Structure 1
């Protein structure tokens, strides 16, 4: 799925999901377009999920409003070219922080793997006996490196973040990440959804102001579980792309991650069920119909 040509904008970067454009008028802005691409296990899949970009954009805009009193965000305008209407926003051009800021309130994914090996995540010791899906006593900040497409993010401990960014900025990012997560977790829980963990992106204005950027609290950047079926000790049903990861890891996919070959195309049923999970997450969280 190639980035569309947009009159008045110059395409200059494509990530796993988003495409970036610079206005040709030279303004200090960027056009951020969310595609229907989906990634898993550090691969961009050949299959796309219909409407995914529109859902991610609408959900991020809703969440930006919910945390507006915590910190500013990068959105300047939702008036965008008609070809990308509903899936794009005009945003501030920021200096992006080179750290993936992650908050975890539950044990899952790579955090579970590290806990089982070391009894800790990113140098933070956790009590013994926790299981897949266990709720932590309090949310923790578990940053990672920001790897290039196709490469793996690596966990960092907090002193590494301090060395990279300085003690003051590192402390600010930890505080803001946990505040965004805590606000999101509370709102989601009231709507019958567990926000297990989330990745937050930050940028810096020229004056040093920390700004919430990219996306926030979406099924691409977070784990969402239905509250009424949460049972620690097993994999949890999800409203996020974990469903795709699970299928790729199943015998039905007939794919060996260790072989270095790209993942197979997703069956139509998996595509539609994934789309429905994104729609369900949006509607249950925001109360709006998609």
Structure 2
């Protein structure tokens, strides 16, 4: 294994067979010791967060696989907190795609003149550039196309997949009485046909979820959902 990239919450290794291995860390994003899925920095370390994130990721990726929704997932080793994936090329230097069902977080900070906290949103899709120095600025469909990051046809696929996958996650959480407020995804192009596939993870560290009006921390979410 060769270390290809060391990220905030996981390390990426290349394997001899051409696939990649993701090693999940116990670090989570946040500010001043408080977890925030939209933050650009590691805010704190939670023991067991890596395995917890991988357990949820494995569950959701296998549900998506059964539904024929394209992802880079091959298999996962919970004990070693690793996931094997197929290679995928990110868009530009990386995009994050958020699907929002309630007005919270950065959406509320930006649009608070018009939106109320917790206001219902209709699977609103928002794309941001992975650019820590510029605080991950939002970018429109037109700008993505003009800057050569993503074509308009690819954007339609990306948006459709985001809403489709978000719905799957939302419905699965609802079975346990948990409401999904928002969730962050990453996508890439895979294979010779450059198919758009879901990459990275689906874990408590990538979403805001609530039960009985109370926010659920990432580790608690894994316990509640998989119990």
| TM-score band w.r.t. shorter chain | 0.7 to 0.9
Residue 150 of structure 2 corresponds to which residue in structure 1?
Answer: 165
Structure showing greater Rg: 1
Partner-residue secondary structure (3-state), 1:54: helix
Higher strand share: 2
Taking structure 1 as the reference length, what is the TM-score of the superposition? 0.68
Deviation, 1:135, is: 1.4
Alignment partners' CA distance in 2, 1:77 and 1:174 = 26
| Pair 1:96 & 2:90 matched | yes
Over the aligned positions, Cα root-mean-square deviation in angstroms equals 1.9
Residue 38 of structure 1 corresponds to which residue in structure 2?
Answer: 28
Deviation, 1:70, is: 5.0
Map 1:1-290 to 2 at 5 A.
9-23=1-15, 25=16, 27-40=17-30, 41-45=39-43, 47-68=44-65, 69=67, 71-78=69-76, 85-97=79-91, 98-117=94-113, 119=114, 130-136=115-121, 138-148=122-132, 152-163=135-146, 164-205=149-190, 206-216=192-202, 218-226=203-211, 228-229=212-213, 237-240=214-217, 277-278=218-219, 280-286=220-226, 288=227
Deviation, 1:87, is: 0.7
Deviations 1:224-264 (A, max 9, x none): 111x22xxxxxxx3123xxxxxxxxxxxxxxxxxxxxxxxx
Please tell me whether the aligned partners of residues 12 and 21 of structure 2 are also in contact (alpha carbons under 8 angstroms): yes
Taking structure 2 as the reference length, what is the TM-score of the superposition? 0.86
Alignment partners' CA distance in 2, 1:109 and 1:78 = 31
Alignment partners' CA distance in 2, 1:90 and 1:183 = 22
Deviation, 1:12, is: 2.5
| Number of residue equivalences | 213
Unpaired segments ≥5 residues, structure 2? 31-38
Please tell me whether the aligned partners of residues 57 and 87 of structure 1 are also in contact (alpha carbons under 8 angstroms): yes
